[in-house]
Amino acid sequence: MLNTKEEERIGSSVILGPFSISEQNSLPLDLAMTVFSFLFAKPKPEPEQSAPVPVKYFLHVRITVTQSHDSREKVREEFTRILKGASQEWLASETMNDLQKQAFISQSLILHPEEPFELLFIQDGLCSVCLQKDDFKICLVSEEYKFNDALERYSILENDLNALLSDASPQVSARLNLPIIGKDKDRLNGAQEFYEVQISSYPGESSSSDRVVDISSKVDDPLEQAVQKVHAAVDELLMLETTA
């Protein structure tokens, strides 16, 4: 039988199996639970990484050609002839950092008897534009490019675009590998004409971030040099997209 002092000693102890820990030396409950969780809790599984989100993008170039009244009908007829033999639409695919880019590339020609006509080149991840040859209006882009010698310039630009795609068939897989140049509007001062190329990229439905490059060309520049500047701007902006 226990005496009073032994009862007091046992009553003031915490009995854990065969062991007893005095309350004076006991661990705080929250600390004990923390230690227990650290030693015996199962590790949480790492969260699964979500798959890469496809990036939709579009490139647009709009060319407004101004020509004299005398040459209008001749240019109109020649453009129609060129377009009849040209491929009207390409489907281009580009893999960038494991992200798939799908885009439709289309060409449209807008001819008005009394107004300058517009040549429209569009690469759009959301929609495509079908080629139509008669008098009608399509408003999808707003950037304008003023050209002289419309027929020659368009013919060379068309050849460059076809070469870029590597195949003139209706559907081709094309790699668009091309670099970026700086934007310097000061160089445009005093220029008789200039070309502005705009490309926009955006994830999903969020607002787009535009990148614009301005290229100047003087009247006395060789025709091929002027067209090469426009083509180089498109190339370098596309390279920016593929390395973004």
| Host domain of residue 19 | 4-39
Q: Are 121 and 131 spatial neighbours (Cβ–Cβ below 8 Å)?
A: no
Q: For residue range 22-49, what is the model confidence (pLDDT) as tens digits?
A: 444 555 666 666 666 666 655 556 655 5
**Total number of domains constituting the chain:** 2
Higher per-residue confidence, 87 vs 241? 241
Are 119 and 201 within one domain? yes
Does a structural domain hold residue 233? yes
Q: Provide mean pLDDT across the span 87-100.
A: 28
Are 112 and 226 within one domain? yes
Are 160 and 133 within one domain? yes
Does a structural domain hold residue 47? no
243/178 Cα distance (integer angstroms): 10
Q: Provide mean pLDDT across the span 211-221.
A: 43
Chain-wide mean pLDDT for the chain?
40
